């Protein structure tokens, strides 16, 4: 079972919007054993859409289109779909009613003709009702192939995928099971890791694929397997994982959650230990806190954080001594350790992590070189820190500092 | 001038990684007048890569590949490229030296054969030296078409695009100029906006394209134009913007920065006014602070923030009266307004924004319905708040709350 995702919209092709829809759809399809053969982003252009449809039809079973269904003039997906299927657009009364309901509930002003026209769908399509918006999803079949058109607005698309598309695909096809397991590894480069596990990798059964996923100082190792016998597949993959863990034991920090990442591994461990966390951020500007709070259940272990961006706020809110700042500079081992220690006290947490640094492009309150970041960990019994030099590009300095902070925290918490 | 971006790697096709590389490359190409015709994500698979190369060659002038250049066994891009160009791989001494330098400086342990093999490149390619990593970029020509292969690690790819790819493309081709201007609009739906500006839109010259970009409560309107006379093009686009602004005056909040977004518009206005901002977040968990601090220059206007996630931290750090919480609940108008007001005092800022709510999936410290969020703005003279009901999906509740907070802040700051 293969699928192609076609995203329609010039905003992706000029780089104004990052395509998060495709990753969402791919993840959902994978869970029911449908492999994504290709993701294709095309222009809002009749000929280009027709070409993409034709190309997809020759390679895959399921084609999912997103975007280009808005009421305005730049959206031509629906007309083009009707043309591709040699079909015409007809008004769907259910969709019109949905549009009228949304209008009455959420929108000020009159229902316009362009909105009423959103109730036009190809006559051969089944409507996937979009209760969150005015653009309907559409399901079309051609032989044993399925074409699904969805709105590009992420939350509308997501609801339709979860509630309509996935159940319908499962109903229509006998889907295999696809399993991914990801091992979180720190401290080993891609090639050093590959050398360590070479013999194991060479002996992997052919239905298990291995991938190395390096990312700014962390490394993930992903095993993917596919088959019709879920229980057997899980057992075989787990057996391979049990073999590889001893080979990377010193650098292995757990399996990533199917939906999760480093912070989820940390969160689960904290919850298990019944311990709590506080965060004091300067150069990372709230991003560490945001990583944790974006996942459910954060209130169990996350006491809170401060973003003490200005030196004055480090003094006033975290109670850093003014002398300490003057003596050592605001970007220093002494200040970051005081930040972590005081955050621990302020929030009455068991662990605290703190960052201070200069992400650039200008030097701000400190004379530290751009890219210099200090990160500290405080626990009930100790405080320690590390200095990092993380380049000179602001967003990367911040992202690397977040990753380094998560790594230090992970190592500290896994001592327990 | 057309380009296609081909990203190689199964991690994109299973939805484990979101493709941010393509948006970066597309943006850079657009700046020098190269339009991206298509973005294609393909599997780490010889046949699929060959098919994508062939397809791209028939449609575009410039093909940029990213990914699949790592030292490990799952990366086959380089071999496949050599095959496509009917070429063989040869050792490049410059690349080998670069690998050895990186090894000596950053890596523990011996240089392995797999790493040395990263110095193998197709004999007909020009090397684009990647000083940040061991996988070189490669530039290959076939007739008047160019094929560029880049590593998938974002910061390595980005440096090569900026320092090698863009200058080389500009040197080889006579590139037109592409201009995008984006208007930030709040409070009007897509169709209501379209109706208001219909006559203007119909009269737009054909070389200017218009797109509506709706996103969780905000709306952007983008004009794109292309031509060889940059000065003239800018004048014509500016003239159209001058015509449309009066039509949407009450809902128009400025032009987005070429690289920026709502928070950049707010940041610029704050800097211009010489005013400062503080943030007190509960349910948004640091994400508002992170939006501002991800952009350079935040230290000019951003005093800092607190992420008072637990009720106790709202009391201890923000000084919210325990009685107030007990009387009104932690998710209430009274508490959010006290949070904003106290953040203003704590950070000695001119403006403060605060959030408290229940993002779900469980109810946490409050009995408010999931999706209930209060957002408050405090200034020197007043404090006010709004209540929002934002659905029941955690990440969306958070994102919508961030957007709503930015909208309220934008409206407040633009009063000045």
pLDDT band at B367 (very low <50, low <70, confident <90, very high): confident
Q: How far off is chain A from B415, nearest CA to CA, in Å?
A: 24
CA distances in angstroms from A20 to A402, B19, B299, listed in the order given: 21, 8, 30
Residue B78 has pLDDT above 80, yes or no: yes
> Of the candidates A299, A346, A393, which has its C-beta nearest B317's C-beta?
A346
Comparing A255 with B205, the larger pLDDT belongs to B205
CB contact under 8 A, B35 and A13: yes
Most confident stretch, A251-260, A344-353, B165-174, B240-249 = A344-353
- Chunked into runs of 10 residues, chain A (416 residues) has average pLDDT values of 93 88 94 92 93 96 91 77 94 94 77 86 95 93 94 92 95 85 82 89 91 75 89 94 90 69 88 96 95 90 94 93 94 97 96 94 74 96 95 84 90 84
- Res. B74 pLDDT band, cuts 50 70 90: low
- B contacts of A312 (beta carbons < 8 Å): 303, 348
Task: Provide the number of CB pairs (under 8 Å) joining chain A to chain B.
Answer: 333
Beta-carbon separation of B211 and A347 below 8 A: no
In this complex, the residue of B12, B153, B313 whose CB is nearest that of residue A303 is B313
Q: Do A309 and B299 touch (CB under 8 A)?
A: yes
- Which helix (H) or strand (E) covers residue B56, if one does? helix B46-59
Closest CA to A245 of A254, A233, A258, A236: A254
Q: Using CA coordinates, name the residue in chain B closest to A306.
A: B306
Q: How far is B90 from chain A (nearest CA, A)?
A: 20
List, in order, residues 6 or more apart from A234 with CB less than 8 Å away. A179
Write down the ipTM of this complex.
0.70
> Residue A166: CB partners within 8 Å, gap ≥ 6?
A28, A29, A31, A32
SS3 (DSSP) at B16: coil
Model confidence over B122-157: pLDDT tens digits? 999 999 999 988 899 999 999 899 999 999 988 899
Residue B153: list chain A partners with CB under 8 A. Answer: 214-215
Q: What is the pTM of this model?
A: 0.71
Q: What is the four-CA torsion angle of B206, B207, B213, B219, rounded to 10 degrees?
A: -80
Q: Which residues of chain A lie closer than 8 angstroms to B62, CB-CB?
A: none
Interface test with A, best of B1, B7, B13 (most A CBs within 10 A): B13
B304-332 pLDDT, tens digit per residue, is: 999 999 999 999 999 999 999 999 999 99
Q: Using omega within 30 degrees of 0 as the cis cutoff, is the peptide bond preceding A361 cis?
A: yes
Measure Cα distances from A212 to A182, A194, B414 in Å.
10, 9, 48
Q: Which helix (H) or strand (E) holds A215?
A: strand A208-215
pLDDT surpasses 70 at B53? yes
What's residue A259's pLDDT? 47
A194/B73 Cβ within 8 A: yes
| Average confidence (pLDDT) over B26-55 | 93
Q: Do B39 and A16 touch (CB under 8 A)?
A: no
Amino acid A108: pLDDT? 63
Higher-confidence position of A99 and B176: A99
**Cβ neighbours of residue B174 closer than 8 Å, sequence gap 6 or more:** none
pLDDT at B259: 47
Position A261 scores a pLDDT of: 77
* Closest in A12, A191, A309 to B303, CB measured: A309
Does residue B365 surpass a pLDDT of 80? Answer: no
> Tens digit of pLDDT for each residue in A241-282?
999 999 998 788 778 765 457 898 899 889 999 999 999 999
């Amino acid at each position: 079972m293969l699928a192609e995702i076609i995203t329609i919209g010039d905003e992706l092709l000029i780089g104004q919007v990052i395509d998060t829809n495709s990753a969402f759809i791919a993840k959902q399809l994978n869970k029911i054993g449908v492999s994504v053969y290709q993701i294709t982003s095309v222009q809002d252009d009749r000929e280009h859409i027709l070409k993409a449809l034709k190309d997809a039809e020759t390679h895959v079973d399921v084609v999912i289109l997103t975007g280009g269904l808005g009421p305005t003039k730049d959206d031509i997906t629906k007309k083009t779909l009707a043309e591709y299927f040699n079909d015409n657009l007809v008004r769907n009364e259910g969709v019109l009613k949905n549009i009228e309901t949304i209008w009455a509930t959420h929108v000020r002003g009159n229902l316009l003709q362009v909105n009423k026209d959103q109730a036009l769908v190809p006559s051969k399509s089944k409507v996937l009702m979009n209760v969150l918006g005015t653009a309907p999803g559409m399901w079309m079949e051609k032989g044993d192939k399925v074409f699904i058109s969805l709105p590009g607005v992420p939350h509308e698309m997501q609801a339709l995928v979860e509630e309509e598309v996935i159940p319908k695909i499962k109903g229509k096809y006998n889907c295999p099971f696809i399993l991914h397991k990801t091992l979180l590894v720190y401290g080993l480069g891609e090639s050093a890791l590959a050398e360590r596990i070479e013999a194991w990798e060479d002996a992997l059964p052919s239905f298990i694929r291995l991938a190395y996923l390096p990312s700014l100082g962390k490394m993930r190792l992903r095993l993917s397997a596919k088959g019709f016998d879920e229980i057997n597949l899980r057992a075989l993959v787990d057996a391979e994982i049990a073999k590889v863990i001893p080979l990377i034991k010193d650098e292995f920090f757990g399996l990533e959650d199917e939906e999760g990442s480093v912070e989820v591994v940390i969160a689960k461990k904290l919850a298990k230990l019944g311990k709590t966390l506080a965060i004091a951020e300067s150069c990372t500007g709230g991003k560490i806190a945001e990583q944790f709070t974006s996942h459910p259940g954060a209130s169990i272990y996350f006491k809170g954080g401060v973003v003490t961006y200005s030196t004055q706020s480090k003094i006033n809110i975290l109670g850093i001594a003014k002398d300490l700042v003057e003596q050592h500079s605001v970007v220093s081992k002494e200040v970051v350790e005081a930040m972590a220690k005081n955050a621990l006290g302020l929030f009455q947490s068991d662990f605290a992590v703190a960052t201070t640094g200069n992400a650039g492009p200008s030097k701000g309150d400190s004379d530290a070189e751009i890219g210099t970041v200090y990160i500290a960990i405080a626990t009930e019994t100790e405080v320690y820190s590390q200095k990092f030099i993380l380049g000179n590009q602001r967003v990367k300095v911040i992202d690397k500092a977040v990753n380094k902070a998560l790594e230090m925290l992970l190592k500290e918490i896994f001592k327990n």
